[in-house]
Amino acid sequence: MAGDNRQVRTSRCPYCSHRLDAASAVDGSGAAPVPGDYSVCVNCGGFLRFISRLRLARITATHLKGMDSETLAELAHAQRAIFAAKKRAR
């Protein structure tokens, strides 16, 4: 995964309550997240989206349906990387 993490407003994962204060663009661009962008929780692998003031919200079934396949593949890839890293850490 790209190493250029961006500090973001501290927010809790809506799935596992893990404190999240950094994000890295899945495309490796180093771009800072904006509302509407998607993310994956580094703790539980839950799919997230940035909403106003860069707070984090769950991705609903409606969002998943409207997501293009490339974005979905990037999220799934990031989720697999997180699960693999957690498995190695055990």
Number of residues that bind Zn ion (CB under 5 A): 8
Q: Residue 13 interacts with Zn ion (CB under 5 A)?
A: yes
Lay out the site mask for Zn ion across 17-56 (x = CB under 5 A, - = otherwise): -x----------------------x-xx-x----------
Nearer to Zn ion, 16 or 84 (CB): 16
User: Among 2, 9, 16, 63, which residue sits at the site for Zn ion (rule: CB under 5 A)?
Assistant: 16
DSSP structure string for the chain: -----EEEEEEE-TTT--EEEEE--TTS--PPP-TT-EEE-TTT--EEEE-GGG-EEEPPHHHHHHS-HHHHHHHHHHHHHHHHHHHHH-
Q: How far is the CB of 44 from Zn ion (least distance, A)?
A: 3
Binding residues for Zn ion, per CB under 5 A?
13, 15-16, 18, 41, 43-44, 46
